Copies of this chain bind each other. A is one copy, B any other.
């Protein structure tokens, strides 16, 4: 990770950086510790402020420290030093009916209470989103649009929006055209329509374990069954287990999130995505790919989508701008491959078409709003928030707690000691004005009773740290 240092004698700032670097390596300065302030170091070593700043920038480049707004420089946590990761999941291999909606609604209702710190909600802080700019764009398209925008749009949605999504698909390893895309009400409608397009009530759908509860609710509402497949916290669904499940029974479709899975944060390597698509293609099994977190890698290039490897039009790619720009706009899309006509038809029978002006505002932002610049900014924020939350969990949660180490998105999956029952913990925590995503929500059966999802979508403020402390204390008492 750390490059060999060049000759440094004649560079004061490099000497300085070298000293701090050694303090970190030896563990004198530990992850999360504040490094000495610029002023203090400059006084102690009798060097200029500029020299210290240059030293800190060098250490930042090396990934050793990080700046926190209005707070100074801190040693960057390195995941591996702190906590163990949860193991690959081992769900039962049976198809079963889903019953998570009631639990989901119970939790959703706690969200209405503004005094509760929602550690579980998979939402980005509005502060991190370009809300003002988007509202300005919406105002502007509304003013510019004549009466003609006040009409029923075709079910597929406005071409301006579809064109921008098609353009961006190049970044995902695809080359979609506007005609390949159907606009939807967020990613949820995209998955709903996709699933209904390829499967019918009673059909078995393979899902990751754990998986996003929204997917389970769609399966439940559609009268389908879920087959959980073991999933690695780092690399996603186990393809061998999927193959076994497919041999064992008819699987009508697979729903998964290869990029920064919810709740695991798992990133399926591109080679594995390719193998997955090829294996399903041999059996003609449609793959519904949820890419809602795909733009949110913490570093490196944007990962490809599984659809990039789709030669038979069997992948239905679903996405939205809800995690990157605007949850309140409800703008999503689906690229349904060979099922496009059916998805369009179901779109009509579900919501007719999407609201026109929000689509136009998002299209405008994607075209001229500096989306890439914005992404760079929020990726950095999410990465930092995830690290700070990770640290806090390490600090406040009971011994034996395990946590995932996601490479993107803003979710953590936490395994508590077996004695903890998170549904009981949930009730106690909400009494103390803290909520989280209890594990059983992420499985069709009440599995994961000692697991929870923690979201890091908000800047890590003292209020959040306090909530984590409360939660850790309650978990420790169990």
Chain A 91-133 interface 0/1 with B at a Cβ cutoff of 8 Å (1 = within): 0000000000110110010011000000001010011010110
A419 at the interface (CB under 8 A from B): no
Does A329 reach chain B (CB closer than 8 Å)? yes
Please list the 6 inter-chain residue pairs (A to B) with the smallest Cβ-Cβ separation, ordered nearest first. A126-B147, A139-B139, A131-B150, A217-B349, A131-B147, A185-B351
Q: How far is the CA of A138 from the CA of B139 in the complex (A)?
A: 7
User: Distance in Å from the Cβ of A255 to the closest Cβ of chain B?
Assistant: 13
Q: How many residues on A have C-beta within 8 angstroms of the other chain's C-beta atoms? A: 69
Q: Are B350 and A350 in contact (CB under 8 A)?
A: yes
Q: Are B351 and A186 in contact (CB under 8 A)?
A: yes
Cross-chain pairs A/B with CB under 8 angstroms, 8 sampled: A105-B348, A132-B146, A139-B140, A151-B328, A185-B355, A192-B351, A214-B348, A223-B223
Which of A139, A189, A346 counts the most B-chain CB atoms under 10 A from its CB? Answer: A139
A350–chain B nearest beta-carbon distance, Å? 6
Kindly specify which of A10-18, A152-160, A429-437 makes contact with the partner chain. Answer: A152-160
How far apart sit A343 and B223, CA to CA, in the bound complex (Å)?
15
Cβ B135 vs Cβ A149 within 8 A: yes
Residue A286, interface by CB 8 Å: no
A166 at the interface (CB under 8 A from B): no
Tell me if B149 and A131 are in contact (CB < 8 A). Answer: yes
In the bound complex, residues from chain B placing their C-beta under 8 Å from that of A136 are: 142-143
Question: Which residues of chain B are near A101, meaning CB under 8 Å?
Answer: 345, 349
B132 and A349: CB pair below 8 A? no
Interface residues of A (CB under 8 A from B): 101-102, 104-105, 108, 111-112, 121, 123, 126-127, 129, 131-132, 134-136, 138-140, 142-143, 145-155, 185-186, 188-189, 192, 196, 200-201, 214, 217-218, 220-221, 223, 322, 326-331, 341, 344-346, 348-358
Chain B: minimal CB distance from A471 (Å): 22
Most chain B CB neighbours (cut-off 10 Å) among A140, A152, A155: A152
B residues in contact with A111, CB < 8 Å: 154
CB pair A328–B186 under 8 Å, yes or no, is no
Shortest Cβ distance from residue A179 to the other chain B in the assembled complex, whole angstroms? 12
Taking the nearest CB of chain B, how far is it from the CB of A134, in angstroms? Answer: 7
Chain B proximity of A374: nearest CB distance (Å): 13
Q: Is the CB of A105 within 8 A of B350?
A: no
Q: A349–B140 contact, CB under 8 A?
A: no
**Residue pair B105, A127 in contact (C-beta under 8 Å):** no
Nearest Cβ distance between residue A63 and chain B, in whole angstroms? 31
A201 contacts across to B, CB distance below 8 A? 200-201, 223
Contact of A348 among B145, B153, B217 (CB under 8 A): B217
Q: Find out whether the CB atom of B357 lies under 8 angstroms from the CB atom of A188.
A: no
